Amino acid sequence: MTRYIVQRCLVFFVIAMGLTWSALPVPVSAAEQEASISELKDSIEDINKRLDEVETKAMMDKMNFGAEVRTRFDWYGYKRDADEAAGIEEIDEHVNGLASTQVRLNLRADVSDQLRFTGRLAMYKLWGDKTLHTSYDDLSAGREPSDTRLWVERAYVDYFFNIWKVPMALSFGRLPTTDGMPTDLREDSPRKSTYPSLAWDAQVDGLTLSFGLEKLIRLPGARLTLTYTDWVTDYEDMPYREVTQYGYDFPTSTPIYAGQFETGLPGFLDGTTLIGSFLYAPSVQLRDDAVEKFKAGIEDAVAANVEATYGMAYPVDVEISNITAPNKMGSIQKAVVFIESKNFLNTWVDWFAGFCWETSESEGQAVIDYTYSVPSDALRIATTNPNAPLVNIAGTGTTAKAFMSDTGDDVLHARAYHAGLRLNLPVRALGYPKLGFEYNHASEHWYGFTYASEDPLHKLEERGSVYDIYYIQPISRYFKTRVGYTLIKRDYDPNPYGDPIENEATISNMYILLDVRF
């Protein structure tokens, strides 16, 4: 940039000196002077335009663009057996051939030797969905089917420097905390995230400080990473203000601290990465969007009670009238050990294994007061009989929920496992396809932090067992397709508030994915 400014100054200086020298010997008229000035302006504008084009090209040369376009077809199934004692009806539902389109624009710029920018914009929508979705979760915007808007999935800057000969990097912005390992195996892509998915998989804004330890401990790629983020809730039209609803001021801050040590392994284990991660959320807050889930649960309970009393299901209207809750609902800690190996022992096998130990502590209850009513003509509506008797049902109720429990003073432990392998089939005629299998299991008090998972079922959030198999078939250098099947044997609903609810359901998903990246 400095070079171009100097060039402009020299051009102006040469032109001015030339005009001065040419004007001294011969006097000219006013009209000729105006013509000369006009020609000078045109000449300067032409030079500026040329220099702007050069500067723009120089900046664009630093920016690398890439794109991903994928179309996916999903066949979902949900089955739950009836339980007369618990008042649970049998459910057997299917969604066939649900089509979606996902677009990602990847950006990268090496601004200087010390500064690098990385970004990704994403769009994800169902085919033909014309609804403009005005509400979204910032932790997963662009990762859930929405509309044609582009969302900023990640946009961060890395600043590289050295202190006492230790290479360090400061990263800030919308951090790379989605598509954690082993998503790179299932996606057949380079690694895209700092932390493994078993630790967390969510879109967050924050700060990260990394220390390169390879020269100190003599292990390839060894580094220590520390991350801070804060999940803020506020009014849509009044930033930095607390959300006040139902007589309760929802807290605005949920800080999270995370740390990770990772290293490659030497010798015959070359290509193997070992990771140890720790995540700590000291103050889990009651989010305002959780109230809608409370309301839905209350409506189901009231509707079931009304049906049992009157022998018929009626539409129920529930209104939350008041909430009393502590400013801090609890805390959570996660410790993860994860290992992934590619081309293990120079074979055509890739594999991974991860284990997480989690401790959650609840501190107080959220007490929800509500009113409910059933329209007086509900029976006439339900039966389409205008002569049916009017039914007036109304009442009040109270329920209490705590973080991961009902009592609000529990220390609970959970564990989760995630393991799998991928076979790189040595079939040249098929372009070297890949066949993979994954398994994960989590206990009843598990909380996964996987809001933005690439998997639409968010399988790492499930409390139960999950089986996943997939086949990747390359079509060309930039085009491949993936066919897969996921089976979930759910034991408990993945709800972070209240005691775990037993829900022995079977969820399945078969899909076909067409994926182009360039």
pLDDT digits (tens, 9 = 90+) for 227-240: 999 987 655 555 55
Residue 19's pLDDT is what? Answer: 46
CA distance 160 to 211: 10
pLDDT digits (tens, 9 = 90+) for 177-194: 999 999 999 999 999 999
Paired with 74 in beta bridges are 98, 511
- Provide the pLDDT confidence category of residue 512 given band limits of 50, 70 and 90: very high
pLDDT digits (tens, 9 = 90+) for 42-68: 666 666 665 555 555 555 567 789 999
Count the Cβ atoms, other than its own, within 10 Å of residue 507. Answer: 19
Q: Is the dihedral of CA 495, 496, 497, 503 positive or negative?
A: positive
**Percentage of the chain lying above the pLDDT 90 cut:** 49
pLDDT digits (tens, 9 = 90+) for 292-322: 888 888 888 888 887 777 666 777 888 888 9
Higher pLDDT, 174 or 390: 174
- Provide the pLDDT confidence category of residue 21 given band limits of 50, 70 and 90: very low
Residue 268's pLDDT is what? Answer: 86
**Left if phi > 0, otherwise alpha if psi is -120 to 50, otherwise beta: which for 307?**
alpha
pLDDT digits (tens, 9 = 90+) for 76-115: 999 987 766 655 678 889 999 999 999 999 999 998 889 9
Residue 380's pLDDT is what? Answer: 66
Count the Cβ atoms, other than its own, within 10 Å of residue 508. Answer: 16
Strands 243-245 and 223-232: unpaired
Q: Lowest-pLDDT range, 80-89, 111-120, 440-449?
A: 80-89
